[in-house]
Chain A
Amino acid sequence: MGKQTIIPFGPQHPVLPEPLHLDLVLEDERIVDAIPSIGYVHRGLELLVSKKEYAEYVYVAERICGICSFMHGLGYCQAVEEIMEIQVPERALFLRTIWAELSRIHSHLMWFGLAADAFGLENLFMLSWRLRESVLDIIEETSGGRVIFGACKIGGVRRDISPETLRDMCQKLEKLKGHMDRLTGVFLNDRSVGYRLKGIGVLTREDAQRLGAVGPLLRASGVDMDMRRLGYAAYERLSFEPVTENDGDCYARCAVRARELYQSIDLIAQAVSMMPDGEVDTKVLGAPKGECFMRLEQPRGEVLYYVRADGTRYIERFRVRTPTFTNIPSMIHCLKGCDFSDVPNVILTIDPCISCIER
């Protein structure tokens, strides 16, 4: 056993735009342990729920995290609708599905950029963020915000998308597919990318299940689990198969996300073709009373919302269990035994979203 050194990683680090602190315990160049600590940007949004009216809290929930903002709004709305037993109009469900998939595409494209940046390929970073920009334009055109959608509300959605815009959107996404071929082609076929990703940070199927991994991290280890199977929003009417890979290394996680990009575009096309006409929102009266768990599939994995309301206009308790928080044990497991130079890679392929951890 060599001499142990502790190297602090973060809270300010070039590969991580968000503050996560890790104390890496090294023996020579090899990580033997990683000790995380969080709380640098904790905002207490879970406690804020008792200070805002339940209908206004949607805007706060959307701001839990910038990347999956729509998902947080959606999860909160669904939980409250579930308690109040509100029947959301069909068209609103399909619109929600489309926006949810758009935010998955933009999140994954952003992740590709950050991952490329982490292993030192600025060029790829630029390419994927350029593609992401076109998705952001679609989001802005349909919802009004580039990152914070502000489109979901309790009882439906706040705006409708016209049929022409929907058609345009599908054409744009079809065109985007061609560009994405180039991007994912480089990620999955290039030799130097392969050197940085293959066989690094392996998480076996058993470990992934034992450590409670969720999302692309779990699917890259060969476990077929996707919360969209629960059939929330319009997913029960769309046909899709969760993307899985078997290797469980950084490369497999890349491949899962690459294939999910195409899957999301396909789901949007399906949703547009099945889109019913009609209202997009219902009137909400009264106040929620009861409690409920609601689960969704975010770009990063399964998220769970717990809402407990006592019949007043203020909700008593709101909890978000975000996918990154659940993936911390797997991240620590993957880090053990890898080289110091691979740390950014391993952390990035988990796709950490620190804002999500720090509600």
Chain B
Amino acid sequence: MKKFAMERMSLNNLFRKPSTRLYPDAPKKYFPNTRGRLVFNLSDCTFCTLCQKKCPTHAITVRREQQEWELERMRCIACGNCCDLCRKGCLTMKNELTKAVILPEREYYRREKPQSSGEDAVK
């Protein structure tokens, strides 16, 4: 049984640089692959409701008649299933996490006229 194994480690740690980051000043670096948050691009969407059907947590609601696409951000588990399935490629994963929120928020996109790409996001 080796003596002072732990003491040696503790002494080493005294003279080392800290392993932690000063968080808000030194933000976390994300990897290109990180599944952070879901990003929706309204302009290509055909409102096919595939993402709504295949979402495991029912976070997405699509209303085809009103041309509306809605995401309940707090229900989204960032699995990326909808991104894999979307035929138009208008759902992507950004490699950043969402900011902390106080209230569960719904992200809401509506196409005003069928041809134009105007969008208004109401929260």
Real binding pair: yes
Chain A residues within 8 Å of B, Cβ to Cβ: 52-53, 56-57, 59-60, 63, 121, 123-124, 127, 130, 137, 140-145, 148, 150, 158-159, 182, 185-186, 189-194
Do B33 and A158 have beta carbons less than 8 Å apart? Answer: no
Q: In the complex, which of the residues B1, B33, B77, B78 contacts A159, with contact meaning CB atoms closer than 8 Å?
A: B33
Residues of B within 8 A of A63 (CB): 77
The 8 Å CB contact of A192, one of B6, B9, B34, B77, is B6
**One of A59, A141, A190, A193 near B31 (C-beta < 8 A):** A141
B6 neighbours in A (Cβ, 8 Å): 121, 123-124, 186, 190, 192-193
Are A194 and B1 neighbours in the complex by a CB distance under 8 Å? yes
B13 contacts the other chain (CB 8 A)? yes
| Contact for B9 among A123, A143, A150, CB less than 8 A | A123
1/0 per residue B83-104: CB within 8 Å of A? Answer: 0100000000100000000000
- Min CB distance, B69 to chain A, in Å? 20
Which B residues from 9 to 56 make CB contacts under 8 A with A? 9-10, 13, 19, 31, 33-35, 54, 56
Question: Do B56 and A142 have beta carbons less than 8 Å apart?
Answer: no
CB neighbours (8 Å) of A121 from chain B are: 6
Is chain A's binding surface mostly helix, strand, loop or mixed? Answer: helix
Asked if residues B19 and A130 are in contact (CB atoms below 8 Å), the reply is yes
Question: Is B5 a contact of A189 with CB atoms below 8 Å?
Answer: yes
* Given known A56-B81, A59-B56, contact A144–B13 (CB-CB < 8 A): no
Please give, as numbers and ranges, the residues of chain B lying within 8 Å of A158 by CB-CB distance.
Answer: 80, 84
Given contacts A140-B34, A190-B2, contact A182 B9 (CB under 8 A): yes
Size range of the interface on B?
20 to 34
Min CB–CB distance B32 → chain A (angstroms): 8
Closest-by-CB residue of B relative to A60 is B56
Instruction: Give the complex CA separation of A57 and B79 in angstroms.
Output: 12
Kindly state whether residue B113 has any CB partner on chain A within 8 Å: no
The interface centre, meaning the residue of B9, B78, B93 with most chain A CB atoms within 10 A of its CB, is B9
| Residues A185 and B80 in contact, CB atoms below 8 Å apart | no
B80, A190: Cβ atoms closer than 8 Å: no
- The verdict on B123 contacting chain A, using a C-beta distance below 8 Å, is no
Cα distance A60–B3 when bound, in Å? 48
Considering the chains assembled together, what is the distance between the CA atoms of A206 and B13 in angstroms?
43
Alpha-carbon distance between A334 and B103 when the two chains are bound, in angstroms? 46
**Shortest CB distance A351–B (Å):** 22
For residue B71, give the distance in angstroms from its CB to the closest CB of chain A. Answer: 17
A185 and B35 contact, Cβ closer than 8 Å, known pairs A56-B56, A59-B77, A60-B56: no
> Which residues of B sit under 8 angstroms from A148, Cβ to Cβ?
77, 79
Q: 28 pairs across A/B with beta carbons < 8 Å?
A: A53-B54, A56-B54, A59-B79, A123-B9, A123-B13, A124-B6, A130-B19, A137-B31, A140-B31, A141-B33, A143-B33, A144-B31, A144-B34, A144-B80, A145-B34, A150-B35, A150-B79, A158-B84, A159-B33, A186-B9, A189-B5, A190-B2, A190-B5, A190-B6, A191-B1, A191-B2, A191-B3, A191-B5
B9 with A127: CB separation less than 8 A = yes
Contacts of A142 in B (CB 8 A): 33
Cβ-closest 6 pairs across A and B: A144-B35, A189-B2, A190-B5, A141-B31, A59-B56, A56-B56
In the complex, the chain B residue whose C-beta lies closest to that of A183 is B9
Specify which chain B residues have a CB less than 8 angstroms from the CB of A143 in the assembled complex.
33
**For residue A161, which residue of chain B has the nearest CB?**
B33
A182–B56 CA distance with the chains assembled, in angstroms: 43
In the bound complex, CA of A148 to CA of B78 (Å): 10
Alpha-carbon separation in the docked complex, A254 to B24 (Å): 37
Candidate in B3, B31, B54 with the most chain A CB atoms within 10 angstroms? B31
Contacts of B9 in A (CB 8 A): 123, 127, 182, 186
Cβ–Cβ < 8 Å partners of A59 in chain B: 56, 77, 79, 81
Nearest-CB distance from B36 to chain A (Å)? 9
Return B21 CB to nearest CB of chain A, in Å. Answer: 11
